[in-house]
Structure 1
Amino acid sequence: MLLTVADVVATPVVQAGEPEIVSGVNLDRAVRWVHVSDQADIANVLVGAELILTTGQALAAPESARERYLRSLADAGVAGLVVELGSYVSELGPVVADTARELGLPVIALHRVTRFVEITEAVHRVIVADQYAELEFARTVHETFTELSVRRAALAEIVRTAASMLDASVVLEDLAHRVLAATARHTSSSSLLDNWESRSRMLPEGDHVVAVGPHTQRWGRLILRSERVHTPRARMVLERAAQTLTLHRMIDTDRFGLHRRAQTGLIADLIEGRVTNERDAQARAAALGLARRARYVPLAVEIETTTAPSDPVAAQRHSLAIVDAVTHGLGLASASALSATELATPTATEQRGTERIAIVLAMSPGRDVDDQLDRVCATVLAELRRVDGVRRAVIGVGADSDSLLDAARELVAAASVASVARSLAGGPDRMFFRSADIRLRGLLSLIRDEPGVQSFAETELSALLRYDIRHAADLTGTLRRFLDLAGNKTELARILKISRPTLYDRLARIERILAVDLDDGESRTSLHTALLIRELTGADKL
């Protein structure tokens, strides 16, 4: 960190000159360099933040020339002026002092002869050492985060490394202000994250808040919770950590054996249209062990785990155990299948991971599809429950078909059904879910973690949420109940146990804050959708 003018004045070599503060304004200015000169027109060669050392020749001129000299230094952005008295001037006088204070220019007079070279050596030694330290720090930052990128470190480790480098608390959040990972330093985790959403919403953008994700597809923010960290260092570390987090999310996490990779590759080719011939598709599938049968059924198994291992090796072993359980279950049910494994996006409000396995089943012709699915899914789910750390598993089923190509394309729909089914709480236990088993809330569950959806909800509700934070109010809750009751004000007043005039006042306040008309159907739909998104992401419970 650069020395200030006050720091330079406090050095022993300057103190030996018996310094007098003639103009004490802006003594906290940083000194980039020290320059020795008696020239009156020295400002023409300055670039700013220099500390000028002079014997005062320019200050021995008439009053108007002295004022021009001081003004030229101030206009050049110098850090300050140090004048050795005796050679040209015995004192600086009120004109210099008043003009310098008016210009905001620090001026120090030295009453004893001082070797300027000793001052420049002392200050430049510190400046150069500081610059070297910054270069060394930058090299360490680059090497550390490059190594994390190469070995695909987990989100938590990347955040933990940034916090360690800055010796300060760092939080990674998504666009809905939900904490994805956090490391607390010099405080407890509970203190760091208490009432996080409200506090995060009020944080201004700046050097301590860095966006995460590609420029056009931001998906989160990395936040430093400390004001005492050197700002350039903070920005450097946060930006490098954000780049590593972006790469982490972009990198494919295919981690298993050649056979599984081949199955994964075939399913990807089928879904993305790289295989367009049905016979070619069936031939490739048969080469990987899929029986040639009449009906192909797409399944997506979504597995929610109680913990997300931060250690990469432990995470890989856990994922392998899950895949083995599914494979074993399919074998016990004598099911012929192709499978592909992918890491699903974890729910940000939960401290657990989610993995998804896509399956194409080859079903025996002439038998009821649902009966066969009941048996296969029951066996797979039973095997998954045996795996340590598996909290819940659901299976989504797409439309079955005689065509392998058509069935593979339905895997996307099956995954959507599984994701929605996992988000629906309180329903009866089922072996599998089809699209007919989910509704609007399920549809929103499917897209709740998309940055665009989170941005929509924020745009619709942020003004009201900020109002509630500032005024310790709950107008958001009033709006939710109003929309849930389809605008029935009489019933809402009864539920809230308030008078009709009080309710009308609250609703009018909501309309003013959000600049909407609550009698407008489209406005109600948009607001209700935004509130459902908050509920599904768990943001309304934070």
Structure 2
Amino acid sequence: MPLTIAEVIELPVIQAGNPEVLSAHRLGETIRWVHVSDMPDLSALVQGGELVLTTGAALRASPRRYLRGMAEAGVLGVVVEIGEVALPAGLGAVAAEFDLALVALRRQVRFVEVTEAVHRLIVADQFERVAFDRRVHETFTELSLKRPSAAGIVEAAAAILDEPVVLEDLTHRALAVALRGRPADLLRDWERRSRLHATTERWAVTAVGPRAEQWGRLIVPQPAHDPDRTRMVLERAAVALALHRMIERDRTGLHHQAQSGLIDDVLRGRVTDEREAAARAHALGLRSAARYTPVVVRVDRTASTSDPVVAQRRNVLLVDTVLHTVNACGHTGLCALRRDGEVGAVLALGVTRPDGEALAALGAALGTEIERVDHSAGAVLAVGPTGNGLIDAVTGLGEAAHIAEVALAMRGARRPFYRAADVRLHGLVSLLRDDPRVQTFAETELRALLAGDPAQLDLLREYLKLAGNKAAVAARLHLSRPALYKRLGAIRAALGVDLDDGESMTSLHVALMVLDARSRAGIDIPKT
């Protein structure tokens, strides 16, 4: 820490001289060095910022002239050893007039011991500062080479300072947070507190981004122990973040990275405290709610591009579309790209309508928007189990992803959204479709039709879907009853089973579901 005049006075070697402060001006200022001299004019010997030790001969001879000369030379204060000889009356007022500290020592001290003690502290502080600067430089240089996340840069700054650090955008939403063991309440009501109290509470604040393109702020949300060091570390972290932003600008938005990082932290067990998770989520814009709903939006990417840059841009656009649509429908959410064409989100639904109606409207809006921007009509919205806490809801994204995968493989008209009850057996088939035994089962059941007319498979699919209701099948396919009976007879003969038997119908239905799931995934069932 920098050494002030007040701290010098508290040193044992000075206290041994029974010091008396005659002028308290500039006691809190940092001294650059200690100089010992009885000369009346030190202008050619000092550079400013020094503390002068003297026996007082020149001071007694011409107090005003001496003190004026000290002030004009840039000296901060004078320590005079007076012993039994009194100083002129009113000397403290004169020193105060020239904005100098003046301390009288009633007992004799060895000035060499004073200079040794002070200079040792000054030099030690300078060495420690050099070591600290080197550590900061090495830390952020290494981080730049590793291309870390924004959260990693913020965490590094917090670790160096051992203080909490928050990265916020220009709307005062917390993008990355390193609490360093502080309570999650530090982020409570963050947007309002950041707007109103960053100055009044003496927070350390550093802008992030070029002067004309600032996009965020790094904040230590409490008075800094060492403002100079804090400012230096935040400035280095801000430079690292600006470089990171330039590199990642075409990949994904910083806000999306922050949301994705929080979801990933919960799923990987790095965040297990509900209060911390909720505080970070609310600082990222998720509205506080009694219940949170995990959802997954899945887009059909069977015709996915082989260009990874194009694929990444499509995925970034998909995340943007999902988040924009969620907000436009009156909800708030955290979004994360889980894989190509799949976005997971935790929603705080609006309270203006029942959940079912709200999800149906959201699903319809997502379908419209995704078709417009992604040129894909094969999007589904899958809903996982509602959680009373944020961590429970994030955990439910796994079930929602499974539902989305099955829903995307299902034939027929799309629902606005899907729950587990909507996929049922399709879910089991989707899980087991890669099992060779299941593939063999489907091939064995349908072998006679797989090598024949595809129209027979379509007819059988409709017949089983309508639970063997021949009248309904005829109406659906616009066939006469005799024509339908004839075609069903051909299928019965080819398969060698009774199509009216319940077990046969179930077995064939499952085989067709396996076939459809494999076909949707772009995988052929091996022929036996």
TM-score normalised by L of structure 1: 0.50
Are 2:405 and 1:434 aligned? no
Give the residue type in structure 2 aligned to 1:165: I
Q: Distance in 2 between matches of 1:58 and 1:143?
A: 50
Name 1:221's counterpart in structure 2. Answer: 217
Q: 1:179 aligns with which of 174, 197, 200?
A: 174
Contact 1:341/1:356, CA 8 A, preserved across alignment:
no
Q: CA deviation at 1:111?
A: 2.4
Cα–Cα, structure 1 residues 98 and 335, in superposed 2: closer, same or farther, change >3 Å?
closer
Name 1:162's counterpart in structure 2. Answer: 157
Q: Distance in 2 between matches of 1:130 and 1:336?
A: 59
Cα–Cα, structure 1 residues 426 and 90, in superposed 2: closer, same or farther, change >3 Å?
farther
Are 2:333 and 1:353 aligned? no
Q: Distance in 2 between matches of 1:238 and 1:101?
A: 37
Q: CA deviation at 1:390?
A: 6.3
SS at match of 1:251: helix
Give the residue type in structure 1 aligned to 2:371: F
Q: 2:145 aligns with which of 125, 146, 150?
A: 150
Give the residue type in structure 1 aligned to 2:71: A
Q: Distance in 1 between matches of 2:90 and 2:14?
A: 24
Q: CA deviation at 1:113?
A: 2.5
Q: Distance in 1 between matches of 2:233 and 2:133?
A: 8
Contact 2:333/2:345, CA 8 A, preserved across alignment:
no
Name 2:71's counterpart in structure 1. Answer: 74
Q: CA deviation at 1:13?
A: 1.3
**Aligned pairs, number:** 310
Q: Distance in 2 between matches of 1:105 and 1:55?
A: 17
Cα–Cα, structure 1 residues 152 and 173, in superposed 2: closer, same or farther, change >3 Å?
same
TM-score normalised by L of structure 2: 0.52
Name 1:309's counterpart in structure 2. Answer: 264
Q: Distance in 1 between matches of 2:311 and 2:80?
A: 77
1:101-500 superposed matches below 5 A: 101-185=96-180, 187-189=182-184, 191-202=185-196, 203-204=198-199, 208-252=204-248, 307-309=262-264, 330-331=301-302, 339-342=310-313, 344=316, 351-354=334-337, 384=342, 389=344, 427-428=364-365, 430=367, 432-434=370-372
Contact 2:60/2:88, CA 8 A, preserved across alignment:
no
Contact 1:156/1:310, CA 8 A, preserved across alignment:
no
Name 1:369's counterpart in structure 2. Answer: none
Q: Distance in 1 between matches of 2:68 and 2:227?
A: 30
Cα–Cα, structure 1 residues 110 and 356, in superposed 2: closer, same or farther, change >3 Å?
same
Name 2:428's counterpart in structure 1. Answer: none
Q: Distance in 1 between matches of 2:126 and 2:120?
A: 10
SS at match of 1:232: helix
Cα–Cα, structure 1 residues 141 and 204, in superposed 2: closer, same or farther, change >3 Å?
same
SS at match of 2:53: strand
Q: Which consecutive residues of structure 1, in runs of 5 or more, have no partner in the other structure? A: 256-303, 315-324, 358-379, 393-423, 438-542
Q: Distance in 2 between matches of 1:335 and 1:98?
A: 83
Give the residue type in structure 2 aligned to 1:76: A
Identity of aligned residues (%): 45
Q: CA deviation at 1:244?
A: 1.1
Cα–Cα, structure 1 residues 154 and 176, in superposed 2: closer, same or farther, change >3 Å?
same
Contact 1:19/1:109, CA 8 A, preserved across alignment:
yes
Q: CA deviation at 1:178?
A: 1.1
Contact 1:177/1:200, CA 8 A, preserved across alignment:
yes
Give the residue type in structure 1 aligned to 2:89: P
Cα–Cα, structure 1 residues 427 and 117, in superposed 2: closer, same or farther, change >3 Å?
same
SS at match of 2:134: helix
Q: Distance in 1 between matches of 2:66 and 2:55?
A: 14
SS at match of 2:177: strand
Cα–Cα, structure 1 residues 252 and 224, in superposed 2: closer, same or farther, change >3 Å?
closer
Give the residue type in structure 2 aligned to 1:12: P
1:497-516 superposed matches below 5 A: none
Cα–Cα, structure 1 residues 436 and 149, in superposed 2: closer, same or farther, change >3 Å?
closer
Point out 4+ residue stretches in structure 1 off by more than 3 angstroms.
204-207, 252-255, 304-311, 334-339, 342-357, 389-392, 424-429
Q: Distance in 1 between matches of 2:32 and 2:236?
A: 26
Q: Distance in 2 between matches of 1:207 and 1:76?
A: 35
Q: CA deviation at 1:207?
A: 8.4
Moved more, 212-221 or 49-58: 212-221
Q: CA deviation at 1:252?
A: 4.5
Cα–Cα, structure 1 residues 241 and 98, in superposed 2: closer, same or farther, change >3 Å?
same
RMSD: 3.8
